[in-house]
């Protein structure tokens, strides 16, 4: 074998096995470099002690141990009758070179109630010294999971036994999520982060304009966001360890009485089957006014899951992924959102006799609040979280069922090469309309408030206040000094 080919072969072997040693003499490095250049190759291996990131993952099954009332559809009239797929909570812990940490927890649940987040934050702070802003909790919004919001009992008309069951599940869930956070932190190991994105086309706007107003029906001309953002978590040698991915669409292909993660659950399942040993985590986007289409069967849920997984796979094949550097900068704050003035007592008394059971129960809840407190709440403390990976990636986590306008607008307005907008994060209390949606009315514009304990709808200032807070937090995380705020 000619000397140059032999040298190239040795260099290639050491490159692929990552056995290059810093102790080798300078002349050796010149030979290796020359051989690699001659072969048209570039080293891709990174030494573990040169990688500024650490990452760890953990997974827990959160399927209820007994049949529970199912969340998401007001027409539910009985508990779950079985399961076709387990529900999971998954955690991805990240730590930069300065020791700043972030833990992203994804769940196959209808939502993250504020009190659930508060409980997990409190215990995580005590046990792992993890500050509140370093914990991001997200729900896939599957409608084939358990009802874990005890306050929904008054709206759904649940009896005491069902409410007690919900509270018991809530207690177990807090324990599981806190343990999951700790396990992910315990598993921290050197890693590299890279960002890519793909596409999936099954999400369709569901706010169809008609002469009678907005109808909840497929609207192919409505705004959508078909982007599939992907964060690749790799070993220093480049092997895939975890993949965090998102999509802006309601997780509502199904409405039956079986426990299932819906399309988001299947997407994660397919990715993990295709990449053994890799943890796939789904981060729900701004899909408040988006539905998967077509919908209604388990087969379609699997098809949409496959389409989303294919979007992730396409992103993973991208030959020029963006390297994500530190430092990590995390911040969390609240912005006060105003409601429109609530109905007067006389109007609520009239509504409490309504034929529609949800309109009636909603009026009763507000009357009870008025009688106990002397007034009905007029504002809502809305959490906004921003995570900055140096200037490479900005992740914004918004609370509630955020409509797609927020994702489209913020990705236009925020500077940077990659912007990722998540919804359903940290506090899922109801719909968050844009000004357009609020003005148009309909279900997401305010009609859905009857299925919550909130007065609603929001005041017209809702969009500008949220967007202004996002810009404020992005600016706050633009300097290294803000990394631990």
pLDDT band at 247 (very low <50, low <70, confident <90, very high): very high
Q: Mean pLDDT over all residues of the chain?
A: 89
pTM: 0.89
CA angle 310, 314, 317 (to 5 degrees): 140
Rounded to whole angstroms, the Cα distance separating 104 from 259 reads 24
pLDDT of residue 479: 62
pLDDT value at position 256?
94
Other Cβ atoms closer than 10 A to 317 = 10
The yes-or-no verdict on residue 16 having pLDDT over 70 is: no
pLDDT computed for residue 480 by the predictor: 56
pLDDT higher than 90, residue 92:
yes
For the chain, the straight-line distance linking the first and the last C-alpha, in angstroms and rounded, comes to 60
462 to 289, 331, 354, 355, 410: CA distances (angstroms): 16, 21, 29, 31, 15
With cut-offs at 50, 70 and 90, classify the pLDDT of residue 237: very high
d(CA 183, CA 189): 12
Mean pLDDT of 454-483: 88
Contacts 24+ apart (CB under 8 A), 165-171: 165/66, 165/68, 165/69, 166/68, 166/69, 169/64, 169/68, 170/116
Task: Kindly tell me the burial class for residue 137, based on how many C-beta atoms sit within 10 Å of its own C-beta (0-12, 13-18, 19 or more).
Answer: buried
Domain-wise residue ranges, the chain: 3-45, 53-328+391-433, 342-377
CA distances from 481 to 96, 100, 107, 387, 485 (A): 14, 12, 32, 14, 8
- Kindly state the average pLDDT of the residues 155-170: 86
Residue 1 pLDDT > 60, yes or no?
Answer: no
Q: How confident is the model at residue 151 (pLDDT cuts 50, 70, 90)?
A: confident
Beta-bridge partner residues of 213: 210
Preceding peptide of 294 cis, ω within 30° = yes
Mean pLDDT on 433-453: 95
Q: Give the pLDDT of residue 266.
A: 98
Kindly tell me if the per-residue pLDDT of 20 is higher than 70.
no
What does the pLDDT read at residue 8? Answer: 43
Q: Compute the average pLDDT of residues 84-100.
A: 98
pLDDT of residue 39 exceeding 70, the answer is no
pLDDT at 396 over 90: yes
Residue 199: the pLDDT is 98
**Given this model, what pLDDT does residue 19 score?**
38
């Amino acid at each position: 074998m000619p000397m140059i080919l032999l040298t190239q072969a040795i260099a290639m072997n050491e490159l692929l096995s990552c056995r290059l040693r810093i102790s080798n003499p300078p002349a050796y490095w010149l030979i290796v470099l020359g051989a690699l250049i001659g072969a048209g190759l570039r080293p891709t291996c990174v030494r573990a002690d040169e990688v500024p990131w650490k990452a760890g993952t953990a997974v827990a099954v959160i399927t209820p141990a007994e049949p529970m009332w199912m969340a998401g559809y007001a027409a539910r009239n009985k508990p779950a009758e079985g399961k076709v797929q387990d529900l999971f909570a998954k955690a991805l812990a990240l730590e930069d070179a300065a020791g700043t940490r972030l833990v992203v927890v994804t769940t196959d649940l209808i939502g993250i109630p504020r009190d659930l987040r508060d409980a997990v934050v409190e215990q995580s702070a005590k046990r792992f010294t993890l500050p509140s802003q370093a914990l991001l909790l997200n729900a896939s919004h599957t409608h084939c999971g358990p009802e874990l919001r005890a306050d929904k009992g008054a709206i759904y008309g649940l009896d005491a036994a069902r409410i007690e069951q919900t509270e018991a599940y809530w207690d177990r869930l807090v324990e599981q999520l806190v343990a999951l956070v700790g396990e992910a932190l315990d598993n921290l190991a050197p890693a590299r982060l890279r960002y890519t994105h793909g596409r999936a086309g099954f999400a369709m706007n569901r706010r169809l304009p008609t002469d009678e107003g907005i109808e909840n029906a497929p609207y192919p001309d409505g705004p959508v966001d078909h982007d599939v953002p992907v964060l690749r978590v790799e070993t220093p040698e480049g092997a895939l360890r975890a993949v965090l991915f998102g999509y802006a669409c309601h997780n509502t292909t199904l409405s039956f009485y079986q426990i299932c993660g819906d399309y988001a659950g299947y997407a994660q399942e397919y990715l993990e089957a295709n990449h053994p040993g890799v943890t796939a985590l789904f981060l729900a986007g701004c899909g408040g006014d988006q539905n998967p289409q077509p919908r209604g069967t388990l087969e379609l849920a699997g098809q949409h899951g496959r389409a989303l997984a294919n979007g992730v796979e396409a992103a993973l094949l991208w030959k020029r992924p963006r390297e994500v550097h530190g430092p990590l900068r995390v911040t969390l704050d609240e912005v006060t959102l105003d409601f429109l003035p609530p109905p007067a007592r006389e109007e609520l008394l009239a509504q409490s006799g309504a034929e529609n059971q949800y309109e009636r129960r909603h009026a009763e809840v507000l009357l009870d609040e008025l009688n106990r407190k002397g007034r009905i709440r007029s504002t809502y403390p809305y959490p906004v979280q921003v995570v900055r990976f140096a200037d490479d990636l900005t992740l914004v986590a918004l609370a509630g069922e955020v409509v797609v306008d927020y994702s489209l607008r913020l990705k236009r307005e925020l500077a940077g090469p990659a912007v990722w907008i998540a919804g359903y994060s940290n506090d899922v209390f109801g719909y968050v309309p844009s000004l357009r949606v609020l003005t148009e009315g309909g279900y997401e514009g305010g009609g859905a408030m009857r299925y919550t304990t909130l007065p609603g709808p929001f005041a017209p200032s809702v969009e500008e206040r949220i967007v202004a807070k996002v810009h404020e937090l992005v600016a706050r995380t633009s300097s290294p000094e803000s990394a631990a705020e």
